[in-house]
Amino acid sequence: MTTVLLVLLGLLAVVVTVVFLLRRRFLLSGLGAVTMWLRAPGSTRWSVGVAWYGGDALLWYRALSLSVRPQHRLSRSGFAVGAQRPAGRDDVGLPEDVVVLACATAQGERELAMDRSTVTGFLSWVESAPPGH
């Protein structure tokens, strides 16, 4: 009986791993999909995830999750990027070569961090919002 249970637990672990890897591959395969770190207001922790930006919203999915729904949806209307800075010693968990953006959104203040190569495209998306948005 314990052998059957161990085999079932092993099989479950394999299935969860495969689902996790397929989800990540799907998220990164979309146009406008980038690796992005997000820090909510008042938090000291950065969360890594995959962000899709396009249309009228930025959809952010936590990297270490099996959920198919975005954890954050930031509307482009009312989205403004304030200060930019390189990651510092206080930004525990961030790679050294990322840029941190302080953003004001309709949902409140957020900090986003992304690779330098991603910043220009992201800022272009923010600034290209239709008039009145």
- For each of the domains in the chain, give its residue range(s) and CATH number, in order of start: 31-127 (2.30.29.30)
Q: Which of 4-13, 24-33, 54-63 has the lowest mean pLDDT?
A: 24-33
Give the long-range contacts of residues 84-88, CB within 8 A, separation 24 or more. Answer: 84/119, 87/113
41-46 mean pLDDT: 85
For 101-113, how does the pLDDT look when each residue is reduced to its tens digit (9 = 90+)? 999 988 888 999 9
Q: Which of residues 76 and 130 earns the better pLDDT score?
A: 76
Confidence band for 32, pLDDT divided at 50, 70 and 90: low
Secondary structure tally for the chain: helices H, strands E: 2, 7
User: Which pair of tokens denotes residue 80?
Assistant: 């403004």
Residue 26 has pLDDT above 70, yes or no: no
What rounded mean pLDDT belongs to the chain?
84
Q: What are phi and psi of 53, to 5 degrees?
A: -125, 135
What does pTM read for this prediction? 0.75
7-18 mean pLDDT: 84
User: Which pair of tokens denotes residue 29?
Assistant: 């395969």
Residue 57 has pLDDT above 60, yes or no: yes
